[in-house]
Structure formats: structure tokens, C-alpha cells
Amino acid sequence: MNAPKLEYIAVEDFSRMPRLKSLYITQAPMLEKVDPLPTMLELRTVIITSSGLTEVPNLSRVHPVKNDSIPYLQAVDLDGNQIKRIPAHALRIRADQVSLNYNLIEEIPAFSFKYAQISKLGLKGNVKLSRLDDNAFAGNLLLRQLDLSFTSITSLPTAGLEKLQSLKIENTPSLKYIPSIYDLRHLESADLTHSFHCCAFAFPERHDPARHKLYEMQVDLMTQACKSEQMQARKRRSLEAIRPISLESRSRGTTGTDEDWSLSSSAEEFGSTVQAEPSLEFLYPDSVEGLEEDSFHDLVDQDVTKGIVAMCGNFTDTRPQVVCRPMPNALNPCEDVMGWSWLRASVWVVITAAVVGNIAVLVVLLANHAEITVPRFLMCHLAFSDLCTGIYLLMLAVVDLRSYGVFFNYAYNWQYGVGCKIAGFLSVFSGQLSVFTLTIVTLERWFAITYAIYLERRISLAAAAKIMFAGWVFSIFMAGLPLVGVSDYSSTSICLPVESKDAGDGIYQGSLFLTTMVAWLIIVVCYVQIYRSLGGGGEKYGGRGSAAAAERRIANKMALLIGTDLLCWAPVAFFGVTALMGWPLVDVSHGKVLLVFFYPLNACANPFLYAILTKQYRRDFITLIARTGKCNWLVQKYKLAATPPPTAHTNPSTPAAMLPLVDYESHTRAIKTNGEAGV
């Protein structure tokens, strides 16, 4: 201990220590290599920790592997060194535990543990370990426990892990795919990183359909074999007295019938185990004699009687039930992105309305760029933000279709890939920009209607551009925070930053709800003022009640627009705030209903209420068609329908003018001018 100058160990001296049972070296930073150890039959523990070892010492000659009468090593502990490689055959040993935790291992080559008998293997904390050869653990005869936590592996090979009972791969977010339970038939417990990997053990028929079908075929064959055995047994009982067969004679294969041998052979052929006394020859109980007080680790449970237990007359399927952690939870349940079939169908209706509607509005508004006013300018931004919401839902719907029924097999690539980050960014960005734009639209209406006489109080196009630039910067900033570690888009399949791990996440999520609340208060106050300013009707406008009625109709339309947005925001904000306060009322499965029916409500309604269902939009749309020179019949039909009846002040031969999309500013100015003229 504390040997800063120790550089070399004369291992040949150990051959003169036949009763040496423990070799313990720690905190020897200059010790980079230990020569192959000689044969030491009494050695039980080899512990070299927190030193400078760069490779695993060769321990293959300590105990001759073929000599079963020699007790095995209790522990080989090489934690906290600088080990980068495992030489071939260095660990051809029999040991209860081999610990290589917290080293610098980058790769486990093929057959690194060939002919070894290691019960528990620890590779925890090798953060550079990224590659495991397909045969990395092949040839290890007894591996029962494996720890690969805090590594960078992307896959787990199954060769050599057939009898594994305990698997730990915690805090290893790089692991994409977990093997099938049919490759790990004796697995009892698994501590993993992602909850969706536990879904693979819970639903093996969806995780690996081919292997599950083969398993069912095996069960069917076993069932038929047992039925055949039962029928033969009945025939024998009808001819002669039942002669009991002892378990001992059955295990030695000396019992009587061809059917018994056929059943046993079938079980072994299909990787199953007929109930029998388990072989315990590898326990070597004398190896722990006298070491109980200094036991480094508890011995591993060696009961390997797992699989399909066949008892003719009482056939049972005992496929292992794996205790897996972290269990699927409210954020990541074992279900598809959309969860329910009706939700899967409904989302496409919402997507169609949001994407097609907002694209139609943008095309018409941008085509008439020569007549851009402040309301048009703001509606362009609103349509774009709502279009982003539709694209977000489209990305979720496409992933749902591609991974239908087996999403947990695709969960890693989706949630930790670029796609989910883009979807989450679009969701938060569109939500914040939409809220911001609607607030500015409401303020602009409030100025235009309440202070129609004072033209200097209007919002100019240049001022509106500066305001919306600030809105874009704010929205991009809020949507970008989860990309730099404040909350996370990968916490759930719908790519929303809903998981709160620390105070920073809670503050971020609370700020999103606070922004919506402030916007709601501003909108409500502004519309109360608008209604108050129009409340006088004829008195306020010098007896011209029609002017006030026109203004009121405009305010009612805007109130309808804002009402849809409040209906969109309120449920999401309510359930979000309750979740932040520690009282979640809905899980993600039911929260997806909010996602489809409430969250995108404004994205669907705004393009229709603002433009598509108005006469002004139809006129602008016909103007756009007229510019193309096509569908002239439609243009002429619209002109005839829009031509007013002849009067003393109109020329019946002149078609109706193509009015632009509703210009609230000029419309309000005309109403107020008429009102003043009336006075």
C-alpha cells in the first residue's frame, strides 16, 4: 500500500511461497506491468488497484484449468488502473469474480475469455469501451453476472452469455439495442439505462417475432411429446401395475422406456431443461474454507435450472420473468408514439388541416407582396409558426407509422437521433412564436380600433418588423435551450421537454407556461378595452350605429380567433403546471390526446378564421389565379357573382374590384372618418 516507487515485482519469488493466499497491491502508480504469475495452488485473491497497470497480468498458470481438484480464485480485482488491453489467454482462469472496473479499456477482442470459468465479470466505468467483438465473451463457460455500466458500447453480443443471470448496463446511453430474452434464456435481472429496453423483455413476441415464433414451435413440440408420453403411460397402466421410477435412476438414464428418452432428447435439442438435479461441480466449496471473514464478494447463485420445465402430465412453461429496471413509466410507456388507433387516424386529419391551411394562407399573402400591411405581415408570421406545428405532428405521425407495434425497437434511434431534436425544436419554437405573434396582433388591433383617430399611434411596418425579429430571437432561444442541456427533448417519444430532473429544468418549463399566461392576460385586457371602446354604438360614432356594428363584428372575429388559442393553451398549461408542482394528473399516454386535439387547435383554426373563410381571401385567391392566365372560367364566374347590381352611382358594365385580404387599418380609418363626417 502507498508504494509510489514500486516499478517491478519479481514474480519468480512467488514460487517459493506455496501457501500464499492473497496478493494485494494498491496505490503504486509506477507499476505498469506484472510478469506472468507462476503456479500458486493456494492463491485465492489477486488485488492490484489504483496503480499504473497498462495491461492485464497473465494469470493463466496460477491454477491449471484442467485440474478440477484445485480450488478456484475467489477474486481478481484490477480496478482503477490504466489498463488498455486484455492479452490473449491472460484470464484463462477459474474465478468467482474478475473486476476490471474504471480502467481505459477501449475494446474487448474476440475470445478474450476463452476457456475461462469466470462467474462474475465487471467492466464498469471503462468510459472509452465502445466496441465488443461478437465473440468477446465466447468460450467463457460459467459467466453468470456481467456489469458494463458507464461504458460507451452500442451493442451487446450474446455469444457466451447463454447462462447469464444478472446484467447491468446502467448509465450507458449509447446502447441502442438489447438482445432478445431468447438469447439470454437464464436472465433473471437487468439494470439498464433506457426504460424502453425493458419493454423488449416484457414483450418478446414484438421485440423479436422470428425467435418468438421458434419458441412457440418448441413449446408445441414439447406439448405434443408430453401428450404422447401420457397416452403411452395410460396404455402401460392398463396392462401392468404402475412401477415407480426414482429420480436417481431417471437422471442416470436407466429408466425404462423409449418415450422417456425421446422426451429428454427433445428438451435438450430445443435448448430446454428437463427438471433434474442441477450440476454443482463448478462450485468448489473448499475454495472458500477459512475465507468467509475476508470474502471479497458473495458467491453467485449457480442454480441454472431455467427454461422450459417439462413434467409429463403437468407441463408448464417457465420462461424467465426478468426483473428489469428502469421500468417503463409515465414518460416512456411500452406503446407506440400515438398509442391508440383512433388517435393515429385523428392526427392525420389535424396535420392535413394545419399544413394545407397555413401553406394556402402563406401563398396568397406572399403573392400579394405589393400590398403588405402590418396585419398581413403579422399573419404571415402566424401562419409560418402554425405550419411548424403541423410539420412537428407530421414527423411524429410518420415515425408512428414506421414503428407501428414495435416502437421500443426504434426508440433509441428516434429519441436520441437528430429527428427528435428537430421535432422538439419545431414544437417549442412554433408554440412560442405563435403566442408572441397573437399577442402583437391583439395589441395592433387594440391600437387600430381604440385609437383610430390618432394615426400617429399606429404600429408601422418597420416597427412591426423589429418587434417580430425580437419574437423570433426569443422563440429560437427558448427552443434551443434543451439542445444545450436545459431539459431534454429525448425524455419521451413525443419529443417535448416534459422531464424535470433538476431546478434548471423546472425553471425552464415554468417559464414556458409563464409566457403563455402573460400573453393570455394581455390578450384578455386588450379585448376588454376593445369592447368597451365599441360599447357606445351610435352615441360614440355620432349616431352612426352601423359603423360601430362593423367594428364590433371585427372584434368578434378576433375574439373567436383568440378563444381558439386559449382553448389550445389552457389544458396544456393546466396539466403542465400541476405536473411541475408534483401532482401530475395525466401521463404521457393520455397527454397525447392534448397533443392532438388541443395543442394544435390554433394551428388548424387560425388559417381558416383569419383568411380562408373570408371574402377578402377569396378575392385575393382569384386575383392570384388571374395572374397565372389559367382557369379563366373560374375568374369570370367569380367576377359575375361579385358584380353589384346597377344603381345610379355604379356602372353595371364595370366588374367588382379585387379587394385585398382584410386590411383592418384602412377599414377602421374609413369607419372613423365616416363617423366624424356624421358629427
Cα torsion at 627, 631, 637, 641 (round to 10°)? -40
Q: What is the domain class of 1-177 according to CATH?
A: alpha beta
pLDDT band at 447 (very low <50, low <70, confident <90, very high): confident
Structure-model confidence comparison of residues 434 and 263, the more confident one: 434
Question: If we measure between CA atoms, which residue out of 373, 517, 540, 529 comes closest to residue 447?
Answer: 529
Q: Count, in order, helices (H) and strands (E) of the chain.
A: 17, 11
Q: Can you give the pLDDT at residue 662?
A: 41
Cα→Cα distances 288→75, 298, 340, 638, Å: 11, 11, 56, 97
CA Rg value for the chain: 38
Q: How many CB atoms lie within 10 A of CB 229?
A: 19
Question: If we measure between CA atoms, which residue out of 495, 99, 167, 127 comes closest to residue 331?
Answer: 495
Which three cell numbers, joined as nine digits, stand for 395?
414527423
Interacting residues of 671 by C-beta distance below 8 A, sequence separation 6+:
452, 541, 547, 550, 551
What is the SS3 string spanning 533-584? HHCCCCCCCCCCHHHHHHHHHHHHHHHHHHHHHHHHHHHHHHHHHHHHCCCC
Q: Can you give the pLDDT at residue 594?
A: 74
Cα torsion at 123, 129, 135, 141 (round to 10°)? 0
* Length, in residues, of the chain: 679
Give me the mean pLDDT over the 564-568 stretch: 73
Of 83-97, 565-579, 600-614, the poorest mean pLDDT is in 565-579
Residue 157: pLDDT over 70: yes
CB of 609 closer than 8 Å to CB of 561: yes
Residue 648: pLDDT over 50: no
Which three cell numbers, joined as nine digits, stand for 420?
427528435
- The span from the CA of 23 to the CA of 48, in Å, is 8
Q: Can you give the pLDDT at residue 6?
A: 93
Of 5-9, 81-85, 230-234, 322-326, the poorest mean pLDDT is in 230-234
Give me the mean pLDDT over the 42-51 stretch: 93
Task: Tell me the pLDDT tens digit for each residue of 476-528.
Answer: 999 999 999 888 888 888 888 877 778 888 888 888 888 888 888 888 888 77
Task: Tell me the pLDDT tens digit for each residue of 56-95.
Answer: 999 988 887 665 666 788 999 999 999 998 988 888 888 9
Amino acid identity of residue 329, one-letter, is: N
- The span from the CA of 321 to the CA of 318, in Å, is 8
CB of 63 closer than 8 Å to CB of 84: no
- H-run or E-run covering 478: helix 461-480
Q: Can you give the pLDDT at residue 375?
A: 82
Structure-model confidence comparison of residues 81 and 660, the more confident one: 81
Cα torsion at 552, 556, 559, 564 (round to 10°)? -170
As a whole number, the mean pLDDT across the chain is: 76
Of 58-62, 271-275, 418-422, 433-437, the poorest mean pLDDT is in 271-275
Cis before 326? omega within 30: yes
Residue 285: pLDDT over 70: no
Q: Beta-strand (E) ranges in 136-201?
A: 145-147, 166-168, 189-191
Task: Tell me the pLDDT tens digit for each residue of 267-280.
Answer: 333 333 333 333 33
pLDDT band at 539 (very low <50, low <70, confident <90, very high): very low
Cα→Cα distances 10→6, 37, 78, Å: 11, 10, 19
Structure-model confidence comparison of residues 655 and 643, the more confident one: 643
- The span from the CA of 255 to the CA of 249, in Å, is 6
Structure-model confidence comparison of residues 518 and 622, the more confident one: 518
Of 15-19, 165-169, 331-335, the poorest mean pLDDT is in 331-335
Could you tell me what percent of the chain has a pLDDT over 70? 68
- The span from the CA of 500 to the CA of 492, in Å, is 12
Query: Inter-axis angle of helices 461-480 and 503-534, to 10 degrees?
Result: 150
CB of 459 closer than 8 Å to CB of 369: no
Of 344-353, 369-378, 639-648, the poorest mean pLDDT is in 639-648
Q: How many C-alpha atoms does 337 have within 13 Å on its Cβ side?
A: 29
- The span from the CA of 193 to the CA of 179, in Å, is 14
Residue 393: pLDDT over 70: yes
Sequence ranges of the chain with CATH classification 1.20.1070.10:
341-614+661-678
Question: If we measure between CA atoms, which residue out of 540, 534, 531, 546 comes closest to residue 679?
Answer: 540
Cα→Cα distances 12→31, 44, 49, Å: 17, 18, 21
- H-run or E-run covering 225: helix 209-239
Which three cell numbers, joined as nine digits, stand for 432?
412560442
For 341-614+661-678, CATH gives 1.20.1070.10
Structure-model confidence comparison of residues 567 and 303, the more confident one: 567
**Residue 168 phi, psi dihedral angles, 5° rounding:** -125, 120
Sequence ranges of the chain with CATH classification 3.80.10.10:
1-177
Q: Can you give the pLDDT at residue 635?
A: 60
- The span from the CA of 86 to the CA of 136, in Å, is 11
Q: How many C-alpha atoms does 644 have within 13 Å on its Cβ side?
A: 9
Interacting residues of 389 by C-beta distance below 8 A, sequence separation 6+:
354, 426, 427, 430, 431, 434, 599, 600, 603
Burial class (CB in 10 A: 0-12, 13-18, 19+), 285: exposed
Amino acid identity of residue 658, one-letter, is: M
Q: Can you give the pLDDT at residue 103?
A: 95
Give me the mean pLDDT over the 671-676 stretch: 42
Q: Can you give the pLDDT at residue 126?
A: 95
Q: Beta-strand (E) ranges in 216-342?
A: 323-325
Q: Can you give the pLDDT at residue 98?
A: 94
CB of 196 closer than 8 Å to CB of 334: yes
Q: Beta-strand (E) ranges in 8-87?
A: 22-26, 45-49, 73-77
- The span from the CA of 631 to the CA of 623, in Å, is 11
Structure-model confidence comparison of residues 53 and 260, the more confident one: 53
- The span from the CA of 474 to the CA of 451, in Å, is 29
CB of 99 closer than 8 Å to CB of 76: yes
pLDDT band at 26 (very low <50, low <70, confident <90, very high): very high
- H-run or E-run covering 118: strand 117-122
- The span from the CA of 194 to the CA of 200, in Å, is 11
pLDDT band at 449 (very low <50, low <70, confident <90, very high): confident
Give me the mean pLDDT over the 98-123 stretch: 92
